[in-house]
Structure 1
Amino acid sequence: MKLRYFLRPGVLIALLFAVASGQDTDLKNRFEVEYKAWKTYVDANSVSDLAIFNNHMRAIIQLGIPALPLIFEKMEKNEYRFDFQLEVAIPPITRKFFEIEDWPKGKRGDAITKAALFLDWWKNGIKETKNTFDRYYSARKKFLEENNTEEAEKQLNRIRNLGIVAIPYMIDKIKEGDLVFIETIAELTNQYPSKYTYSEGDSAFIGNLNELTNQGLSANASKDECLEWWSKNSSKYTIVKAE
Structure 2
Amino acid sequence: MRSTLNMFVLVIVTLILNTGLGKDFDLGNSERIRTLFEKEYQLYLQAKEDEIIQSQRSGLGPIMGQHLGNIIQMGQRVLPYLIEKAAMAPKGEEDPFLTLPLYLLTMKSFELSEWPEGSSRDSRDKIRMYLEWWPKARQETPKQFSKRYLEWKTLKSEGKEDEANEKLEEIRALGIAALPMLIDKIRQEDKDLIPLISTLTNGQID
TM-score (norm 1): 0.60
Letter in 1 for 2:205: G
Instruction: Report the counterpart of residue 241 of structure 1 in structure 2.
Output: none
Match of 1:112 in 2: 124
1:81 aligned residue: 93
Among all aligned residue pairs of Structure 1 and Structure 2, give the percentage whose two residues are the same amino acid: 30
User: In the alignment, which residue of structure 2 is the partner of 1:72?
Assistant: 83
- Structure 1 pair 104–147 and aligned structure 2 pair: CA distance change class (3 A): farther
Q: Which amino acid aligns with 2:89?
A: N
Partner of 2:10: none
CA distance in 2, matches of 1:109, 1:152: 30
Structure 2 residue 152 is the aligned partner of structure 1 residue 140: yes
Relative to structure 2, which stretch is displaced further, 20-29 or 71-80?
20-29
2:198 equivalent to 1:186 = yes
SS in 2 for 1:124: helix
Say whether the 8 Å CA contact 2:141–2:177 is kept in structure 1. yes
Say which of 14, 31, 34 aligns to 1:24: 34
**Structure 1 CA distance for aligned equivalents of residues 100 and 119 of structure 2:** 16
Q: Distance between the aligned counterparts of 1:133 and 1:94, measured in 2?
A: 15
Partner-residue secondary structure (3-state), 1:54: helix
Residue equivalent to 1:62: 73
Distance 2:137 2:106 in 1: 13
Note the C-alpha offset of 1:39.
Answer: 4.0
- Name 2:205's counterpart in structure 1: 216
Structure 1 residues 133 and 45: CA distance shift in structure 2, 3 A: farther
For the 8 Å contact 2:86–2:127, the answer to whether it is kept is yes
Alignment: residue pair count: 175
Q: Which residue number in structure 1 is paired with residue 18 of structure 2?
A: none
Unaligned runs of 5+ in 2: 1-28
Alignment partner, residue 23 of structure 2: none
- Give the structure 1 partner of residue 46 of structure 2: 36
- Root-mean-square deviation over aligned CA pairs: 3.0
What stretches of structure 1 of length at least 5 have no aligned partner?
A: 1-18, 192-214, 218-243
